[in-house]
Amino acid sequence: MLIITTGISGCGRKEYLALLEKFAKSHKKMVKIYNVGQMIFEQAEKIGITLTTENILNANPHVLNSLRSAVFEIILSSLKKDVKTYDAVFINIHAFFLWKKIFTKAYDRFYPAQFNADAFVTFIDDAKDMKKRLDKRPQWKPERLTIEEILLWQNIEVEVTSSWADMNLRPFYVIPSKQPLSGLYRLIFCPEQEPVYISMPITHLQEKKMQSRVDKFIEELNRYFIVFDPRIVELGSGPAVVKIDKKRRKNPVFYTQVVNRDLYWFVKQSKKVIAFFPKVVSSPGVINELREAHETNKTVWVVHPGGEGSPFITYFCDKVFNNEKEFFSFLKKNYKPFKDHFQLP
């Protein structure tokens, strides 16, 4: 299987793929990763062109395009052998850069189609975390990227990669770099396992006890489905204590990006949407996610105390459950848990 992966600088994509390679090997799967950026430096050194990590994006665009094309030709020459030798091959590239406050294309239009990839993936992360990483790097520190710029850059990276997938009629996934490794592993090697999106109240359900119930719910749900949890992007994995930064509450770009991400990236790539209410509470976000899923013909389940709620909750779903116990009893009767339930690293 051949997968093209993208992600903006500082999102953690290279680190994630390196860990995934080790994780796959522990499950007797062989993975090969082409990090195109690193290969460009190697190709430049080979032919006597000086490039530095701090200033590579200052290089003449024609020189960079030529180096990138040479690297892609090297990859193409090996792909037939690679796909026979390895269980999965990743070509890790950028779609765009944001340099000197200008969005710059980082790909050659000829090659995405030539690779004939089986799937496309864009890695994303919390903009605040990415800013911290970028501000420490000699290459990016002088750029002084803002949270807003990082979010917009990430948005372009996702939409461009999604367009490649659409044009090649291939699946596309947005993967948080804090997503457990088993999630992407199962998407690739266990295609029979369905990806689902877990929707839950966040803004008005910040009690640690309630979020702990959500964590336990997701842990059990992960035995049956590949789960996309929106909290991972802002909060990281593990027990969640939801707290929205006051500064980001006032940031319209942050808010619009959150809505766009959850509705049009995570819900879109999921087969099912499962809404879990630990207690009765208002959640405009959940209502909108239920409607989006319902109107795009996805299976929608709601776990709501007492099985009752606003008609705008029950209208946009296929089945309502009174509590977690009733829901998981239904799953046990109708779905088989994965034989190989991966413990998340």
Mean pLDDT along residues 92-121: 92
pLDDT of residue 109: 79
Mean pLDDT along residues 233-260: 62
Phi, then psi, of 327 in degrees rounded to 5? -65, -50
pLDDT of residue 338: 83
- The CATH architecture annotation of domain 194-339 reads 3-Layer(aba) Sandwich (3.40)
Do you know the residue count of the chain?
Answer: 345
> What is the Cα–Cα distance from 178 to 190, expressed in whole angstroms?
20
* CB within 8 Å of 28: residues ≥ 6 apart: none
Q: How confident is the model at residue 201 (pLDDT cuts 50, 70, 90)?
A: confident
The Cα angle at residue 298 between residues 301 and 289, in degrees rounded to 5: 65
> What is the Cα–Cα distance from 184 to 345, expressed in whole angstroms?
13
Sheet of strand 2-6, all strands in order from the earlier edge strand to the far edge: 31-35, 88-92, 2-6, 119-124, 172-176
Mean pLDDT along residues 161-165: 96
**Side chain identity at 39, as an amino acid letter?**
M
Which token pair is 268?
Answer: 């879109």
> What is the Cα–Cα distance from 97 to 123, expressed in whole angstroms?
15
**Residue 1: other Cβ atoms inside 10 A:** 15
The CA-based dihedral angle spanning residues 181, 154, 145, 68, taken in that order and rounded to the nearest 10 degrees: 90
**Side chain identity at 282, as an amino acid letter?**
S
Q: Give bridge partners of residue 226 from the DSSP assignment.
A: 195
| CA quadruple 286, 290, 291, 292: dihedral sign | positive
Lowest-confidence region among 58-62, 136-140, 341-345: 341-345
Q: Which fold has domain 1-191?
A: Rossmann fold (3.40.50)
The percentage of the chain sitting over the pLDDT mark of 90, rounded to a whole number, equals 75
pLDDT of residue 279: 85
Alpha helix ranges (H) inside the chain? 13-26, 36-46, 61-85, 111-115, 127-136, 147-167, 181-189, 208-221, 231-235, 246-249, 252-261, 284-295, 311-314, 324-334
- The conformational region for residue 238 under phi > 0 = left, psi -120 to 50 = alpha, else beta, is left
pLDDT tens-digit series, residues 105-119? 998 878 888 899 999
* 104 pLDDT higher than 70: yes
pLDDT tens-digit series, residues 284-339? 889 999 999 999 999 999 999 876 667 878 889 999 999 999 999 999 999 988 86
- β-bridge pairing 31-35 and 172-176: unpaired
* 241 pLDDT higher than 60: no
pLDDT of residue 111: 82
Which of 93, 101, 86, 187 minimizes the C-alpha distance to 150? 101
**Residue 29: other Cβ atoms inside 10 A:** 16
Answer with the residue of higher pLDDT: 338 or 135.
Answer: 135
pLDDT tens-digit series, residues 261-284? 999 999 999 999 999 998 877 788
pLDDT of residue 309: 67
3-state secondary structure of 302: strand
Residue 59 has what DSSP assignment?
Answer: S
**Helix crossing, 208-221 with 324-334: angle to 10°?**
10
**Side chain identity at 90, as an amino acid letter?**
F
pLDDT tens-digit series, residues 185-196? 999 999 899 999
Mean pLDDT along residues 149-176: 96
Write down the pTM of the prediction. 0.91
Pinpoint the residues of the chain covered by CATH 3.40.50.450.
194-339
Could you tell me the CA-to-CA distances from 121 to 21, 36, 73, 170, 277 in Å, in that order?
16, 15, 21, 11, 30
